[in-house]
Amino acid sequence: MNTLIRTAVLLSALMPAVAGANDETFDQLAKDYVAEFPALHPVSATLLGDHRFDDRLDEINEQSRRDEVDFCKKYLARLAKIPRNELSRDRQVDAELLAQQLHATIWQIERLKEWSSNPLVYTGLAGDAVYGLVAREFAPEAERLKHAATRLEAFPRLLGQVREALQPNRVPKIHAETAVKQNRGVLNIIEQMIEPRAEALGDADRQRLTAAIKTARRAIDEHQQWLEDELLPHAAGEFRLGRELFDEKLAVTFNSRLSRDEIRQRAETDLVRVRQRMWDIAREVYAKRNPYTRFPKEPSEAYRQAIIRAALEMAYADRPAPDQVVETARQALERCTQFVREKDLVTVPPDPVEIIIMPEFRRGVALAYCDAPGPLDVGQKTFYAVAPLPDDWTKPQINSFLREYNERSIYDLTVHEAMPGHFLQLAIANRYPSTLRAVLASGVFIEGWAVYTEQLMADQGLLDGDPLMRLIALKWYLRSIGNALIDQAIHVEGMQREEAMKLMIESTFQEEREAAAKWVRAQLTSTQLSTYFVGYQEHRDLRAEAERRWGGDFSLKRYHDGVLSFGSPPVRFARALLFDLEIPTADE
């Protein structure tokens, strides 16, 4: 079965049953959208699991941007003709999500304009163009390698268009510096994942692939020289988003009822609450280790800080060797999966997951990520990627990193990225009967669920109820709180590095290497660091409401299976579906 027919079959099989004339009209619109929008971004289409465009590369020019805006306006016009309140409930949600996505895309192109200021968009695009074809076995290897050759042949055109699009006076220095480090990462993919497989091709195709690799190498080298000699010296953009754009981006991309001020207020309140819980646990652990200690009735903040740090030091003592971080994550994944099943916390899907070394072109932003297959590649392998320690780090830097990512922290990280966090949630979401819903996944829902599971697993007694595991999990939640605080403080209020480092190191107990990396990440991104805290707040509120509504009928598995059964919509839509409430609109 060719890829075009296979995709059509998948789409028709996944669409919900028709319930009426308006539902039928919307279903056709949704089917058309899912079939048409991947052509605008072939590399993303590959990652989505739509392989009709595997032999194409994105166009980066003014015409392609106009085409995308026109595409969005066309679908907004079609949506406007469908009475929203006459759709079935599930379709009402999908219609709201599609409208929000279309408006967000127009805003990003016409207002935010990252296409002219963020070179990391393009280093990721170039890497994914090749990586997405060879990382998963969705088609015969020879077919995927032929498509890789076609894309590699187009690298000179792609990177030339990138240089035309980027405006050095708009590019922040930190973005240029990171792009310089990331650009050559695609060569590692070619060397490690393409060249060793070339023998799968016949002579003619192999020769073509070899030539395409040479072409891509020259194009990447030329682009590297431009990044170093032209972009970096002239990069003069402001990395801070500013109040107006930050607030717009929150509203456009989060689909949450929490404003920036409400996020800050909640974060400041939770900072106090969580530090109190950490003090309670730390005092218990410290007293067990030092039984003759007498704690003051009203300890000062400095005293509390010292005791919490002392307890954290006990956890930091158990840390992996520098070359054993990935192996420790593998062991953690096995144990976390067993724990979820023993506790019967949620239904575990049968999909495979593999821990890998993070590809070089994706390094420099976060230590780890979950790379799930697209909704049209259901059942394909999920990758839990972990970055190796940089070769140029000093011993103090390595020690700082391993203190932060001690063995219990790696368990917490594994919960977040894999079980029962991103891997499990996305594997379930990709099976939702509306492909459109899967395509329009909410990052706030996804990240919030992962943070929620960190607290869930610790509260349920991961590692045999170890109090230090609970302490580390709370520390990690403090990181989410700190993320939200520095995100808006940096981009809206002008927070400087020293102030941000103090908040992260003193208030949320992060090690210097983690805090330094987070300072870089906060400059490279905006609002994304808030997704963890906002999403967790919404998931926590939703579970509390379920406990109140269901009373004695509440169980963790019933709740978790229920809330995950709707895909990955913004939490307010999951709430409406879970409790059979009126579907909210964009103005509610």
Quick: pLDDT tens for 308-348: 999 999 999 999 998 888 899 999 999 999 999 999 999 99
Q: Mean pLDDT of all residues in the chain? A: 92
Amino acid at 231: L
pLDDT at 12 over 60: no
Q: Is residue 247 situated within a structural domain?
A: no
For residues 389 and 467, membership in a common domain is answered with: yes
Q: Is residue 123 situated within a structural domain?
A: yes
Pick the range with the lowest mean pLDDT from 4-8, 50-54, 206-210: 4-8
Kindly report whether the peptide bond that precedes residue 420 is cis, defined as omega within 30 degrees of 0. Answer: yes
Distance CA 582, CA 11 (A): 28
For residues 305 and 211, membership in a common domain is answered with: no
For residues 321 and 424, membership in a common domain is answered with: yes
The token pair that represents 530 in the structure block: 């808030």
Of 269, 289, 312, the domain-final residue: 312
Pick the range with the lowest mean pLDDT from 62-71, 112-121, 252-261, 496-505: 252-261
* 0.85 surpassed by pTM: yes
For residues 455 and 545, membership in a common domain is answered with: yes
Amino acid at 407: E
Amino acid at 542: L
Q: Is residue 252 situated within a structural domain?
A: no
Better-predicted residue by pLDDT, 73 or 380: 73
Question: What domain range is 283 assigned to?
Answer: 261-312
| pLDDT value at residue 364 | 59
| pLDDT value at residue 366 | 64
Residue 382 is given by DSSP the state: E
pLDDT at 68 over 60: yes
The token pair that represents 484 in the structure block: 């939200």
Better-predicted residue by pLDDT, 431 or 222: 222
Q: Is residue 81 situated within a structural domain?
A: yes
Nearest of 365, 369, 345, 337 to residue 355 by alpha carbon: 369
Q: Is residue 16 situated within a structural domain?
A: yes
- Calculate the CA dihedral of residues 570, 573, 578, 582 and round it to 10 degrees: 170
Of 240, 271, 299, the domain-final residue: 240
Distance CA 255, CA 531 (A): 11
Q: 118 in the Ramachandran plot: left (φ > 0), alpha (ψ -120 to 50) or beta?
A: beta
Give me the sign of the Cα torsion angle 239, 508, 390, 463. Answer: negative
Of 312, 334, 352, the domain-final residue: 312
Give the chain's domain count: 3
Q: Is residue 524 situated within a structural domain?
A: yes
pLDDT at 15 over 50: no
For residues 302 and 168, membership in a common domain is answered with: no
Q: Which residues pair with 386 in a beta bridge?
A: 357, 368
pLDDT in tens, 352-399: 888 888 877 677 556 788 888 888 777 778 888 888 888 888 888 888
The token pair that represents 122 in the structure block: 């393009």
The token pair that represents 230 in the structure block: 């032209």
| pLDDT value at residue 467 | 97
Please list, in sequence order, all residues whose beta carbon lies within 8 angstroms of the beta carbon of residue 351, skipping any fewer than 6 positions away: 378, 379, 380, 381, 382, 423, 427
The token pair that represents 492 in the structure block: 């809206």
Q: What order of strands is seen across the sheet that includes strand 353-357?
A: 353-357, 382-386, 368-371
For residues 125 and 149, membership in a common domain is answered with: yes
Q: Which residues pair with 357 in a beta bridge?
A: 386
For residues 149 and 27, membership in a common domain is answered with: yes
For residues 305 and 382, membership in a common domain is answered with: no
Element (H, E) at 521: helix 512-524
Q: Is residue 255 situated within a structural domain?
A: no
pLDDT at 4 over 70: no
Q: Is residue 586 situated within a structural domain?
A: no
- Calculate the CA dihedral of residues 221, 224, 226, 227 and round it to 10 degrees: 170
Nearest of 418, 411, 405, 412 to residue 454 by alpha carbon: 412
Say if CB 450 and CB 416 are below 8 A apart. yes
pLDDT at 133 over 90: yes
- Render 345-381 in DSSP notation, one character per residue: -SPPP---EEEEEPPGGGTTS-SEEEEPPPTTSTTSP
pLDDT in tens, 240-251: 999 999 999 999
| pLDDT value at residue 537 | 97
pLDDT in tens, 455-482: 999 999 999 999 999 999 999 999 999 9
Element (H, E) at 386: strand 382-386
For residues 408 and 478, membership in a common domain is answered with: yes
| pLDDT value at residue 280 | 97
| pLDDT value at residue 2 | 36
For residues 182 and 267, membership in a common domain is answered with: no
For residues 175 and 323, membership in a common domain is answered with: no
| pLDDT value at residue 486 | 98
For residues 325 and 307, membership in a common domain is answered with: no
Say if CB 37 and CB 11 are below 8 A apart. no
